[in-house]
Structure formats: C-alpha cells, structure tokens
C-alpha cells in the first residue's frame, strides 16, 4: 500500500503516473512487493546465520524452504489484494 501511495498519490512523482494503465500499475506494485519480500528473506537468513548463530532455519532442510516460500506467497497475495482494491477504487472515480 505504501508503493501505491508513493506511485500514484505522492507529490514527488510525476502526475503522468496517475494515468498509467492498470496492467502497469499491477506490475509496478507486485514487483515492489516481491523485491521487499526477497530482501526480507535475505535479512532473515543473515540474522539467523551470522548474528544469532542459532541456525533455527536451515536452507538445506525443507522447513526453511517451506517457510521462505510461504512468506513470499503471502507477500504476493497481500500485494495482489492491495492492488486489486486500488484498481477497484480507481474504477469508481
């Protein structure tokens, strides 16, 4: 939702972005959500391996992979819901 605000409502962005086709709005927001999700997974990995040294989640075990895929799926699902709500609201205007 922050990316939706930044892209379509912020005064720092060109007014032309408000007229982007729906497909481009969807691509921009979903791409941003995926990027943030991947960065978050790297953060979790670094915290687990280098900082805490507890190794709670092992990359080689299926539990770590399942957790990562679940997190990324939920990120994309949330981004999809947010962009669909935005597009629905945009259609009403």
DSSP 51: I
The whole-chain average pLDDT of the chain stands at 79
Give how many domains the chain has, as a whole number. Answer: 1
- Domain range enclosing 43: 23-88
CA dist 84 to 7, 22, 38, 65, 73, Å?
15, 10, 22, 28, 16
Find out whether 78 and 34 touch, Cβ atoms under 8 Å. no
Residue 15: inside a domain = no
Residue 2: inside a domain = no
Average pLDDT for 36-53: 81
CA dist 27 to 21, 41, 53, 89, Å?
10, 21, 37, 17
Is 85 in a helix, a strand, or coil? helix
Average pLDDT for 35-63: 72
pTM of the model: 0.72
């Amino acid at each position: 939702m922050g990316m939706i605000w930044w892209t379509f409502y912020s005064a720092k962005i060109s007014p032309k972005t408000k007229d982007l086709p729906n497909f481009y709005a969807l691509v921009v927001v979903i791409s941003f959500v995926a990027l943030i999700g991947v960065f978050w997974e790297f953060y979790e990995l670094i915290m687990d391996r280098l900082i805490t040294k507890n190794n709670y989640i092992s990359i080689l075990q299926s539990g770590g992979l399942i957790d990562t895929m679940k997190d990324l799926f939920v990120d994309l699902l949330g981004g999809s819901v947010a962009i669909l709500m935005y597009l629905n609201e945009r259609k009403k205007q």
